[in-house]
Amino acid sequence: MNTSDWLQLLEIAVTAAVGIWIATTIQNKFAKSRTLRDYFINELIALQSDYRSFVNNIWSANISSRAIKDTLKSLSGRIETLDKYMHKKFQLDNSLIKEAHVKFQQELTYASELDDQFQLPCVELNHDTKIRLMPFHDKIVEAITERVIDINESKQL
């Protein structure tokens, strides 16, 4: 083998090594990005599930006034944290879910049944209150769904 043959072999080896390095780097970066997106999406799905369960408990009169207020407070904290980090990692508006939650919370705590039945083991909302709350709950579901779509479409920082 002469010098030009060795140079061609070296060129092939370097090209292959660079190709492998580029493919590995891009794949690792994509995997990290997908893992982070999946984490936030799973958290949003869990939040939506917890919200659905909470609302079902309210609708079926299986929850006390105190538990309603405690759950709203807990949900507020989770939403605040999720919104904060989704904004930080994906530059998403950090108030979409929070705004829908606050409106639902205000409308629910405005219901006279919560105060009237505070000492009872379970609060039973009247039909009109439930009808009034439904659009607010729908907005939360819509906001969570929109946020999942936003995460999938956004660029990670």
The pLDDT assigned to 73 comes to: 94
Domains of the chain in start order, with CATH, are 36-153 (1.20.120)
User: Angle between the 96-110 and 127-153 helix axes, to the nearest 10 degrees?
Assistant: 170
Rounded to whole angstroms, the Cα distance separating 49 from 141 reads 10
The pLDDT assigned to 30 comes to: 56
Tens-place pLDDT, residues 90-134: 888 768 899 999 999 999 999 998 888 988 899 999 999 999 999
Q: What is the mean pLDDT of residues 63-86?
A: 92
Non-local (6+) Cβ contacts of 133 within 8 A are: 55, 58, 104, 107, 108, 111, 125
Tens-place pLDDT, residues 41-66: 999 999 999 999 999 999 999 999 99
Task: Tell whether the model's pLDDT for residue 27 goes beyond 80.
Answer: no
DSSP state of 94: T
Tell me the whole-structure pTM to 2 decimals.
0.79
Q: Are residues 70 and 114 in contact, defined by beta-carbon separation less than 8 angstroms?
A: no
Rounded to whole angstroms, the Cα distance separating 51 from 144 reads 11
